[in-house]
A and B are shown apart, each in its own frame.
Chain A
Amino acid sequence: MTEPHVHVAGVDGAPPFPEAARAALADAQLRHNLGHATHTIRAKRAKVVAELPDWEALREAGRALKERVLRHLDAHLVELEAAVVRAGGTVHWARDADECNRIVGDLVAAHGATEVVKAKSLTTEEIGLNEALAQRGIHAWETDLAQLIIQLSDDTPSHILVPAIHKNREQIRELFARTLADAPADLSDDPRALAETARRHLRRLFLETRVGISGVNFAVAETGTVSVVESEGNGRMCTTLPEVLISVMGIEKVIPTWQDLEVYLQLLPRSSTAERMNPYTSLWTGTTDGDGPRAFHLVLLDNGRTNVLADEIGRQTLNCIRCSACLNVCPVYERTGGHAYGSTYPGPIGAILTPQLTGLAGSLPYASSLCGACYEVCPVKINIPEVLVHLRREEVRREAQAPASWRERVSGEHAAMRALARVFANRRLYEAAQRAGRVGQWPLVRDGRIQHLPGSLAGWTSMRDLPPVPSQSFREWWRQRP
């Protein structure tokens, strides 16, 4: 058996975060669009969450349930498979992106289809399903409005919930007028007119396409019921109108019982769209004669998730229900947007999920000031700062083991941090270093401030002064006080 090859779309060849961020930060339109959108949704979320007196208890329930599921994930998945099969569905197991894409492609081909309609699904984005299908001559139509915008503009999503958050309505009007044949000549940027144009385009697709593809928000092990939660109803069109439905789910999306939905169907919409209840919650169990698809396939995807599960601290990342609340409150995401994260999964959750799926930390765990706003809003209490710091440690260890030249190893951060640790471990060295800093800073101090630092510290003084080290440390003062 070959080793699984974990692949997350966007990761290959993505520039390091600081580099990608620099470009995004300079885009005034993007900054304006994102700033407006994140602040609006942030305020709305705070309002609907404040309505629930038991919000903290709900969060704890959401976390505890996921923790229990992950502890017995194998058993829950096998139970889910049995229940889905019992209800007339078929279950497939995919170890990685390639295997999943092959399974889905084979299923579409077996039904003789060359087109599919898709409900919005991050998991199929993660594995690059559309591109894989295209290689087999199968065109996947995105039907979520924002996802459609992304597809038509040949872009990639920049937000988990609102993939086109970086675009404003004038940009969308221009796109529809250019790419949709049935767009009226005098299309305005009124949201209603834009939605109507998309609606006409999509209705035709829903009625003509024989295979639908969706992701999965929750799958109930005891009943085999699969659920998709959405706002537009286009997802429900995809899961009910076609003859064949293929749903792709990450293995962490299983929940044990129907009753557990109660917790997540309260947590998810309030955290995600700041709604008390989302407009469309579709639930289906296998197939039913004369109602909905005649064939249902559920593909269970690993693609690195079992690696995450194996890590005691990182494991909580699999609690994620993809609400995107952490993106909306993140001061980094708000300014850089999602593309800077170079992955299907942007924002704070992406900064911990992508490195764990791929096994390569890189620059993402450092893309945070550790302000903790993400942890505070997370409906399943993922301690994102804790995992970020944990992944930084893994990156430091990886770097230390990497074959680097002697010069790189002694000149870099590692050497400086180790030297500092030795200084802090010894009072005499520490006090000597305080004095040395005071003496050694003289070439840098001008008019009582430091305006230029050398080397890797120059980033600080690009826009910030630094105060000079004062002539007397606190401890020196303490020792000589009467």
Chain B
Amino acid sequence: MTGRRQPPARAALFITCFNDTMFPQTGRAVVALLERLGVGVEFPLEQTCCGQMHFNTGYADETIPLVRRFVDVFGDSEVVVSPSASCVAMVREYYGRVAQLAGDAGLARAVEELSPRVLELTEFVVDRLGREDVGAFFPRRVTYHPTCHGLRMLRVGDRPLRLLRAVQGIEVIELPEAEECCGFGGTFAVKNADTSIAMLTDKVRTILDTGAEVCVAADNSCLMHIGGALSRQRAGVRTMHIAEILAATADD
């Protein structure tokens, strides 16, 4: 149904500070994917951070200027696309609360008006572009980890899996107990490192059990956590953001 709608000609990319700095290849993949699908990508250079880490750690007051900034930078965009489920969840679920804390009715209105137009990448591709087969080619065994904020806050459901299954040459192996948190949780991984590691150990075990060579997710923060353990264990399994798989073609 949404696929029938005229796909947006342009989209503003909210890369997130984390991807911008640590995972630029994900951003490059998003640009390649969207342009291949006929979407003109804009990248407002004034963007920085959504404030999720501050907000979730208890620094809501420090988040207020970042919410204002986000609204200023993206307020005029028809649609904002981001390759991070948790940052999109921050905008859609908690920006209203931050505006309320700021006691700024104008900001609250601006947030309410903008946040429905802020979409996670797989939501945008499936719902707005109406695409599941994006013409990708990736001849590898992969397993998909649904990250918590995508799963329970955005409710992206099986959109990422539908996109992955349509990739040519790919073998998608179901991850047992997929909906279990990997134990990242932002500052939780540091403040409660032992508990976080106990959760991560179980997640890594299920990933290794699949025999996949790549663990895929729609959030690089969780992937950095999982990948950190895979790297430390020299497990020989890589992590990849879903955008990088969807961007890959037979010509690569």
Contact = CB atoms under 8 A, between A and B. Distances in A.
A392 B197 CA distance: 22
Interface string A449-469: 101000011011011111101
Nearest to A459: B193
A375 B59 contact: no
Nearest to A313: B97
Contacts of B173: none
A462 B194 CA distance: 9
B199 to A, nearest CB: 5
A392 B56 contact: yes
Interface string B141-154: 00000001101110
Nearest to A372: B152
Interface in B28-43: 28, 31, 43
B185 A371 contact: yes
Interface stretch (A69-77, A89-97, A257-265, A329-337): A329-337
Contact of A369 (B15, B58, B184, B227): B184
Given A427-B48, A467-B224, A370 B186 contact: yes
Contact of B194 (A25, A366, A478, A479): A25
Contact of B48 (A335, A418, A430, A474): A430
A418, A423, A474, A476 — which one has the most chain B CB atoms within 10 A of its CB? A474
Interface string B108-127: 00000000000000000000
Nearest to A26: B194
Place the interface of chain A in its size category. Answer: 35 or more
Contacts of A373: 148, 152, 179, 181
Nearest to B193: A459
Interface stretch (B4-12, B18-26, B164-172, B211-219): B18-26
B51 A370 contact: no
Given A18-B194, A370-B188, A434-B20, A467 B227 contact: yes
28 contacts: A18-B195, A331-B181, A336-B195, A365-B58, A366-B188, A366-B191, A369-B184, A370-B56, A370-B185, A371-B181, A389-B55, A389-B56, A393-B59, A420-B53, A421-B62, A423-B48, A425-B48, A425-B69, A459-B193, A460-B193, A460-B228, A463-B200, A464-B225, A464-B228, A464-B231, A465-B231, A469-B21, A476-B24
Interface of A: 17-18, 21-22, 25, 331-332, 335-336, 365-373, 375-376, 386, 389, 391-396, 413, 417-418, 420-421, 423-427, 430, 434, 437, 449, 451, 456-457, 459-460, 462-467, 469-470, 472-479
Nearest 4 interchain pairs by C-beta? A369-B185, A459-B193, A464-B228, A392-B58
